[in-house]
Amino acid sequence: MPGARSGAPLRPIRAERSGTGRRRAGSGTASERAVIMRWTMATSTVRLPPGLRGPYEVYVNGVPQQLGVDFNVRDGSLVFERELRKDKISGWRWLLGAWGVGTYRQNDSVDIRYEAADGSPRVAEGLEIEPG
24-49 tens-digit pLDDT: 555 555 555 444 444 567 899 999 98
How far is the C-alpha of 25 from the C-alpha of 105, rounded, in Å?
38
Mean pLDDT computed over 45-70: 92
How far is the C-alpha of 25 from the C-alpha of 132, rounded, in Å?
24
**0.85 exceeded by pTM:** no
How far is the C-alpha of 47 from the C-alpha of 87, rounded, in Å?
18
Mean pLDDT computed over 70-94: 88
Higher pLDDT, 58 or 32: 58
Report residue 53 CA to chain centroid gap: 22
Walk me through the domains of the chain, giving residue ranges and CATH numbers. Answer: 1-41 (no CATH), 43-131 (2.60.40)
Confidence of residue 12 (pLDDT cuts 50, 70, 90): low
